[in-house]
Every structure is written in structure tokens, then in C-alpha cells.
Amino acid sequence: MHEGLKDIEGFEISFHEKSKRIVNIKIENQIIERLIFPFKKFDLTALEYKPFTRFTIAKSLNDIASGELGNIINSILRNRNTGCFIIGPKNLSSKLNKNFLVKLSTAITYLIGNPNHDAMADKYYARFHVRHEDDSDSYLRKAYINMDLHTDGTYVKEKTDWLLMSKLEEENAQGGETYLLHLDDWEHLNDLFKNEIGKQNFIWGSPKSKNIDYKVEHPVFSEDQNGNPQISYIDQFPEPKNMEQGLFLQKLSDALEESENKIIFPLTVGSTMVANNYFWLHGRKPFKENKNLSRELLRIRGSFFNN
Ligand SMILES: [Fe+2]
């Protein structure tokens, strides 16, 4: 039992070894075994075509977790001091194939909120590979380039309260660590948050592969109901209107990347990371070059059920 953390039978819940802002939830084998049967009831097509089936598997997961998992993960995500958790099987076994992991990610999602339609994949989730070669038009699949700190959903109309990322596969990968930064740990937050330019509207577009045919306008910084700073930012998609917006974004980008308070860790295969998208930024370190590099991620972004 850890201070401030509740226990659920069959789950190991603790703070992440690198930060007390991240909660680690390990699912023990007995729970995985009990999930296999309810998860078998639906194949991925059923989950994709019939949204109510996703609620059914989420209910199964929560029931098997003594009816407590939903409450716990929602309070972690909404708590400004944490806002992030990593959940996954304690032991990887052959039963944990990709289908199982997609279902587990779906079940976790539907304890939190409704996913946004992912236009890139034309589904409620997207799966994508990072490989040695890439000819795409965004940093998402560029294995050997740093993916700088950002939030998700900057260029879409839908609310993006949270994001979920699951690692489905990783082969011949060195480097490629996930890195995260909590806004309140950022050395330059005060300086940049009080800069008026960050509160101006910026135009946000996106490259072709994202399948979004409109642009949106919103500021980089805003405040939540309690006056806490929130950020909506990614380097590639804002279209600065003038010199002052351009220079502000450059300063912001530099100040984020040079932070000493980033939390850097490898996300292990089978693990899922879920973060509040208003005060956590995420990024990825470059991989070491390898012709056989293959990594597959699943992502889901969405809004909370009760806003
Ligand atoms: Fe992202």
C-alpha cells in the first residue's frame, strides 16, 4: 500500500520510479486470465462497428477489478498533481497478443470517456508503425528524429481531454524512449504563461495524412476553472501569422526541450500510458538506426464522460 494510493485485488498500484506524478498499475496474471473470456466475446470488427460492445468490455474489466478501476483512473487523470498513469500486464505471456491489447486499451478507454474519431485511421483508434524507412509527412513515423514535446488534438475541433498510447510491438529498437513533462514542473512556465502572445489565437492546420480538411484557431495557453495553466501545443501544426507569433513559438519550443524536468522512460510492450492532455506534454526520443526496427503503437484520444 502506497501513501495516497488505493489498492485493488489483483493489481499492483504504486508511483512510477521516476516520478510521483505518474501512477503505475500492474495487472496480475489472475486478472488477465479472467479477462480472456469476456474479451473473446467480441472480435475487433465488432468493437469497431458496434460502439456499445466497447462499454460491455469496459464493464467486464471494471467488474473484475472489484468495481474500482474506473474510479481510480478517473481520479488520477483529473488530479492536477498526477494526471498520468501507466497500466499493463505484470507479466507478458503468449496470451497477450495484439488483439488482446487492443481490447484492453479499449476497455480502459471506456472507463474514462468517449474517444474522438481518429481521422487518420477512420476508426475510434489508430495503430501505426515506426520503421527504418518512412515517407510520411509528419514526425509521427520518423524513427530517427526526436518527436518534440507536444499535446494531442491541437488541430481538431473535438475536445481532447486525454490521450492513451499502447505499445503493441517493438523489435530491434534501441532508444525511442517516451518522455513527458508536467506543466507544473516546467522551469519556464511562469515566464511563458504570462506572455500575452501565448493567449492570442493561433491558426492550426495539419498535413495530408491526418485527413482533416479544416483549420482551427485557439491560443497556446489557457486557464482551467481553478486558474491553472493549460497548454495546447505541437511544433509542426501552428501557422504563425506574424513575426511575434513565430518568435513566441520558437521560444516556447526551445524552453520545453531544454527542460531538465522531463521524465524519460521506455514504455514496455503491452503497456498503456494515459495522460491528461491539458497539463502533460509528451514526446519521443530518436531510435538508434536499425534496418529491422519495428514498433507498433495504438493511440486513442478523447473527452471525459462527465465534463
Ligand atoms: Fe502525440
Ligand 1 mean position to 151 CA, how many Å? 6
Ligand 1 mean position to 64 CA, how many Å? 30
Residues belonging to the chain: 307
270 pLDDT above the threshold of 70: yes
Q: Express each pLDDT in 159-174 by its tens digit.
A: 999 999 999 999 999 9
pLDDT band at 134 (very low <50, low <70, confident <90, very high): confident
155 pLDDT above the threshold of 50: yes
pLDDT for residue 1: 45
pLDDT for residue 307: 59
Predicted structure pTM score: 0.95
Query: CB of 131 within 8 A of CB of 293?
Result: yes
Ligand 1 mean position to 301 CA, how many Å? 9
Of 3-7, 46-50, 97-101, 293-297, give the lowest mean pLDDT range: 3-7
| Average pLDDT value for residue range 110-115 | 98
Ligand 1 mean position to 261 CA, how many Å? 19
Ligand 1 mean position to 164 CA, how many Å? 9
CA distance 61 to 31: 9
CA angle (134, 270, 5) in 5-degree steps? 130
* 100's grid cell: 488482446
CA distance 5 to 105: 22
* Residue 110: CA count within 13 A, CB half-sphere: 20
Alpha carbon separation from 48 to 112, 118, 169, 274 (Å, rounded): 18, 12, 21, 21
Ligand 1 mean position to 44 CA, how many Å? 24
Q: Please name the amino acid found at residue 85.
A: F
Q: Please name the amino acid found at residue 260.
A: E
Ligand 1 mean position to 183 CA, how many Å? 16
| Average pLDDT value for residue range 103-130 | 96
Q: Express each pLDDT in 215-232 by its tens digit.
A: 999 999 999 999 999 999
Q: Where are the beta strands (DSSP E) in the chain?
A: 11-16, 19-27, 84-89, 113-115, 126-131, 147-150, 162-171, 178-182, 202-204, 216-218, 221-223, 229-231, 238-239, 263-265, 272-276, 280-284, 294-304
| Average pLDDT value for residue range 93-108 | 92
What is the DSSP-derived secondary structure letter of residue 183?
A: G
Q: DSSP secondary structure string, 197-222? A: GGGS-EEE---GGG---S-EEE-SEE
